[in-house]
Amino acid sequence: MMEKIISLCKRRGFVYPNSEIYGGFSGFWNYGHYGSILKENIKNLWKQRFVFDREDMFLTDTSIVSSPMVLESSGHISNFGNEIFKIQIGTGEETTTSHLRAETAQGIFTDFKNVVDTHHPKLPFGVAQIGKAFRNEISPRDFIFRSREFEQMEVEYFVREKDWEKYFEMWRGSMLKFLAEVGIKEVKEEELSPEDRAHYSKRTIDFLFDYPFGNRGEVCGLAYRTDFDLKNHKLDYLDEESGERMVPHVIEPSFGVDRSFLAVLCSAYTEDELGGEPRTYLKLPKNIVPVRAAVFPLLKNKPELVNKAREVYAMLKKNPPVGGPNIEFDDNGNIGKRYRRQDEIGTPHCITIDFDTLEDDTVTVRDRDTGEQERVKIGELIAKLKS
């Protein structure tokens, strides 16, 4: 099953091995056209749910490299040592050794004072960030599951110590909801024992998915980081109303983008039979699909069909249905081949313009999941795709 998914990812332009023409480079991957769109859609939905739908969240985008003091203070150097990529900054004799970040979180902590000074937020509030992280994994494996360069979507949520359990539960619920919304099926929660938790955590739940390479793997995790990080960076918070000074505690929901992407693909991957033929399709939720609808002229050598199809295509591009602006035009090969290609990309609807269209202004709309086709008036097409 994993082999089939890896092969589909390459064939359809979701994920390519890095530096493939030089034999590949272990632990690094490239996202192709459809992979980049799917990944972007997952990230945008996360931003929507974890930042814009709420009133207590700020967004940030901090740099990958920071002063060497940051990872010293956060305990990463003493606790992870080898796993962190060392880099040289500067040239000649004036060089400084620093590191590529292993999690996006530290940029949020070190900017804590700036966020408070700019926005004067009341507790509880959070800061969210999507960005790259790097770990020098000893054995990168299982496709994009364990790589050396990956992306994270993290929230650091600052609370009063007495409230940590309440907000831990709140974020646990939001994480489960998000996993369900992107179509990740049957997530199992695992409470980590103190020996298995990271050095900064007093409670951690891992959210596990049955990836088809034989064992369960963590898609995302929820940690109670206490006041460990802010204390180590010597940061605190002044309650402007009561005048009370304190170090807030932190709840951290942390998602791996690549592991979410892979779990989405594995959950969506479906094989069935349609019209007596075996087929493969991606049953992706409509709001994250790389292509929302594809428009075909029945025949590519009939200008009247091509022109009409281009008209419908332009209309949909201008009024994209919910779930993404990406509409495709395709006149390559026969209709069967075009359906097969769109099924493997996960396109929910294919629209075909045929000779009847020229007579009665209706088109055929084919449903990805059932393969069923129905005639729809062009004037009702946008409403139909929205339903």
Q: What are the Cα distances from residue 51, in Å, to 21, 44, 59, 133?
A: 40, 10, 7, 20
Q: Treating both helix axes as pointing N-terminal to C-terminal, what angle do 257-268 and 2-11 enclose, rounded to 10 degrees?
A: 100
Asked if 364 contacts 351 with a C-beta cutoff of 8 angstroms, the reply is yes
Does residue 163 touch ligand ATP according to CB under 6 A?
A: no
Of the candidate spans 48-56, 214-222, 273-281, 312-320, the one that interacts with ligand ATP by CB under 6 A turns out to be 214-222
Q: Considering beta carbons, is residue 182 or 220 the nearer one to ligand ATP?
A: 220
Q: How far apart are the C-alpha atoms of 328 and 316, rounded to whole Å?
A: 10
Does residue 83 touch ligand ATP according to CB under 6 A?
A: no
Question: What's the closest the beta carbon of residue 80 comes to ligand ATP, in angstroms?
Answer: 9
Amino acid making up residue 80: F
Residues 123-142 that bind ligand ATP (CB under 6 A): 135, 137
Does residue 262 touch ligand ATP according to CB under 6 A?
A: no
Does residue 178 touch ligand ATP according to CB under 6 A?
A: no
* Phi-psi group of 361: left, alpha or beta (phi > 0 → left; psi -120 to 50 → alpha; rest → beta): left
From the list 76, 101, 233, 259, which residue makes contact with ligand ATP (rule: CB under 6 A)?
Answer: 259
Binding letters toward ligand ATP, positions 215-234, x by CB under 6 A: ---xxxx-------------
Of the candidate spans 120-128, 255-263, 331-339, 369-377, the one that interacts with ligand ATP by CB under 6 A turns out to be 255-263
Does residue 250 touch ligand ATP according to CB under 6 A?
A: no
Q: How far apart are the C-alpha atoms of 355 and 361, rounded to whole Å?
A: 10
From the list 73, 98, 152, 326, which residue makes contact with ligand ATP (rule: CB under 6 A)?
Answer: 152
One DSSP character per residue, 298-340 reads: S-TT-HHHHHHHHHHHHHHHHSPPTT-S-EEE--SS-HHHHHH
Question: What's the closest the beta carbon of residue 147 comes to ligand ATP, in angstroms?
Answer: 5
Question: What's the closest the beta carbon of residue 187 comes to ligand ATP, in angstroms?
Answer: 12
Numbers of helices and strands, H then E, in the chain: 13, 20
Binding letters toward ligand ATP, positions 317-356, x by CB under 6 A: ----------------------------------------
Q: Where are the beta strands (DSSP E) in the chain?
A: 15-17, 29-31, 57-60, 86-89, 96-99, 125-134, 149-159, 188-191, 203-210, 216-226, 237-238, 245-246, 249-256, 269-274, 277-282, 293-297, 327-329, 349-353, 362-367, 373-377
From the list 73, 147, 226, 357, which residue makes contact with ligand ATP (rule: CB under 6 A)?
Answer: 147
Question: What's the closest the beta carbon of residue 218 comes to ligand ATP, in angstroms?
Answer: 5
Token duo for residue 138? 């000893």
**What residues contact residue 20 under an 8 Å CB cut-off, 6+ apart?**
none
Does residue 74 touch ligand ATP according to CB under 6 A?
A: no
Nearest to 232 by CA among 10, 52, 37, 73: 73
Does residue 258 touch ligand ATP according to CB under 6 A?
A: yes
Does residue 42 touch ligand ATP according to CB under 6 A?
A: no
From the list 12, 43, 101, 146, which residue makes contact with ligand ATP (rule: CB under 6 A)?
Answer: 146
Q: How far apart are the C-alpha atoms of 7 and 63, rounded to whole Å?
A: 34
Q: Considering beta carbons, is residue 258 or 343 the nearer one to ligand ATP?
A: 258
Q: Considering beta carbons, is residue 148 or 308 the nearer one to ligand ATP?
A: 148
Question: What's the closest the beta carbon of residue 228 comes to ligand ATP, in angstroms?
Answer: 14
Residues that bind ligand ATP (CB under 6 A): 135, 137, 146-147, 150, 152, 218-221, 254, 256, 258-259
